[in-house]
A and B are shown apart, each in its own frame.
Chain A
Amino acid sequence: MTALERISAPQNRIDGTALYDWDYLVQEGRAHRLIYTDPAIFEAEMTRIFGGTWTYLAHESEIPNDNDFITRRLGLRPLIVVRDGNGKVRALYNRCTHRGTTLCRWDKGNAKSFQCPYHGWNFLNTGKLRGVPWPDGYGDDMRDPKYNLAQVPRVESYRGFIFGTLNLDALPLVEHLGPIAPIIDQWLDRNPGGKVVVCEANRFLFKGNWKLAYDNSCDGYHVAYSHRSLLETENRFAGENAKGMAYYRNSPDTQPMYMRYTGHGNHFKDKRPNLEQRPGGLWALESAHPGMEHYEAEFIRRYGERAFSLLDLAGSEPVNINVFPNFSLLGNHIQVFEPISVGETNAIWYGTMIVDDGSVPSDAVTDINALRMRTQEGFPNFGEVDDIANFEQIQRGLMAVEDEWVYMHRGLGIPGRIKHNSDGTIDAPATDEAFMREHFKEWKRLMKGPHNLAITREA
């Protein structure tokens, strides 16, 4: 039994008012600087976006056993994502119902209950208040559900990816994902058993608005210049055999790779058409990584022809799958954006490894993962650092008050360039800003509201 609590009180100072003309702030080919710089807009986003739509919380492999927990956030709300004693995944507010203290200060662990370090209120990992010290001092019934922990009312998983929303009217997660779900399936199904396990992360803090990261998630236009140091490094010995993302260098507009917008702010950039579709096609594109020559020779010796399809499991999947507002599958990473303030964001690149499901030689699994760790460290070290340096400098540039607009009109108004498919999806070259124009339509829809938001508590 659960008790829903509609969120009717103003969550922030602009809720329910029309201080902003959203249609002015986001136009067809440009967006106003205020959406990146205004603290009041950020505050509204933390409810209307991070709460108003499905937001990624965690991966099931991070809480594999009953009573496992991991601390996360939904917008700025501190959460404890738990698998309770019955195996049910819950997103509990990490906030004591008494005075508001966070209950759990550990990043992860296993616990059947959480006791507040302030006065000792004790909560089961179902969210239910188990007891308080010296209850005789309370004149009311402490079994009232209002003393149980708040929870995200809707928590759903899609193939291991756990999302949550406060929006009671949101579509079921699988429908929300819609045409991007089969692309997620493809990303997973190339791994043994269709599964991956999260194995730590490369974590970045940047002093910029969270949307700067999402605006870059499907951007094929920046690669040749933003990542020039990476492209040059990856290819310093490659000669004619261009490695890594080198296919961006020459006329990237006319490459077979493309972007598809799939609705609800979600999009993917598919670079797979640029590759040779054969075992080893992915591996052939990998630039230099620690151990690669050893393992390649060793795999050929051990597995013969099969070596290259195994090596592909350590290669980066060349598709970027982005689920608005905070989730990207990128290479083999699960990338998550966590807003901290209007001008501060965490960009976390969770690594993934494969599991032994019997379909791959057991002695290959450790070696594939050893290689896969090293391939995954490449881009965060030599690419992402330059992206976030640019995000920070955008935030700084946008402090120029009178110079109001950022442009996102690449590809707009060119006949035949953008294709509207019969299923409602939209295709464009991977170097256009169509993806950004489309996700900002969703941003605007969510910011306009109204939303049917609620929290829930155990009854």
Chain B
Amino acid sequence: MAAPAATAKDSHPSRSSHYVNDALYRQLIADFTGWQDDARAVCDPVVRDQFRRLLEREARLLDQLRYEDWLAMYAAECIYWVPSTPNAGDPRREISVMFDDRRRLEDRVYRLRTGFAWSQAPASRTVRLVSNVEVFAADRDDVRMLRSNFLISEFWGDETRILTGWAGHRVLREGDGWTIKAKQVNLIDCDQSIRNPSIIL
């Protein structure tokens, strides 16, 4: 039986994953290697504040469980990556804590919205601090790399705990704004046992 003709909807990255290929993996590794270069630091306080606001907004949307608004901050073809090693090896030959493309990010949100995700029933309450924001120029004029430190206080069960580390964002200018192409979340204890890693970082 012939497969039904692909529709535009079927080929959207929310529905099928064509952009996660070997070239993407190579580019991702290259993009997240050696980018925190003082010579590329963007020191203009107006620019830095612009990106600081982007990161603060992302944190607020996640704290408020506004997942759909949060997803809208990401490019259609995006990567959300939480490595399982402190120096982030090759995700083609290393299990990640999380490695999501657009569709899997939407899966993550969908699951949390089902009402049957017992690890988030009731949902964690979180407050995120984002700080030490640095902006770096990248290989392209329409791309910036952002480094920030994060501290997530999570109340879950009957206790409050801390998830902390630093994040790298690769952001792309689209129209008047910037969308997130890739986010790498580096938990300081990424290679240790983590209790209930069920929130979005």
Residues of A within 8 A of B (CB): 107, 199-207, 226, 228-230, 232-233, 236-237, 288-295, 297-298, 346-351, 353, 366-367, 369-370, 373-374, 376-377, 381-382, 385-386, 388-390, 392
Contacts and interface: CB of A to CB of B under 8 A. Distances in A.
Task: Determine the main DSSP class of B at the interface with A.
Answer: loop
Contacts of A376: 95
Nearest to B92: A370
A202 to B, nearest CB: 6
A386 B93 contact: no
Best-buried of A293, A295, A370 by chain B (most CB within 10 Å): A293
B17 A288 contact: yes
A203 B118 contact: no
B91 interface: yes
A316 B195 CA distance: 25
A261 B158 CA distance: 38
Contacts of A366: 22, 92-93
A373 B16 contact: no
Given A288-B104, A377-B99, A229 B93 contact: no
Contacts of A350: 95
A350 B196 CA distance: 17
Contacts of B25: 370
Interface string B83-121: 011000101111111111101100110111011111101
Contact of B192 (A203, A374, A388): A203
A49 B139 CA distance: 57
Contacts of B61: none
Interface string B14-58: 011111111001000000000000000000000000000000000
7 contacts: A228-B114, A290-B20, A293-B17, A347-B193, A381-B108, A386-B118, A389-B119
A368 to B, nearest CB: 10
B162 interface: no
Interface residues of B, number: 46
B52 to A, nearest CB: 30
Contacts, number: 142
A369 B110 contact: no
B198 interface: yes
A236 B116 CA distance: 14
A189 to B, nearest CB: 22
Nearest to B117: A229
B196 A388 contact: yes
Contacts of B92: 366-367, 369-370, 373
Best-buried of B20, B85, B108 by chain A (most CB within 10 Å): B20
A157 B55 CA distance: 50
B6 to A, nearest CB: 10
A376 B118 CA distance: 21
A148 B111 CA distance: 53
A346 B195 CA distance: 9
B188 interface: no
A346 B194 CA distance: 9
Given A229-B118, A291-B21, 4 more contacts: A202-B84, A233-B110, A293-B16, A295-B21
Given A202-B95, A228-B116, A377-B96, A293 B18 contact: yes
A297 B195 CA distance: 38
A74 B151 CA distance: 34
Interface string B126-169: 00000000000000000000000000000001000000000000
List 3 tightest A-B contacts by C-beta distance, closest first: A351-B95, A291-B20, A370-B92
Nearest to A292: B17
Contact of A205 (B16, B100, B118, B194): B194
B68 interface: no
A343 B120 CA distance: 21
A293 B103 CA distance: 12
B174 interface: no
B53 to A, nearest CB: 30
A207 B93 CA distance: 30
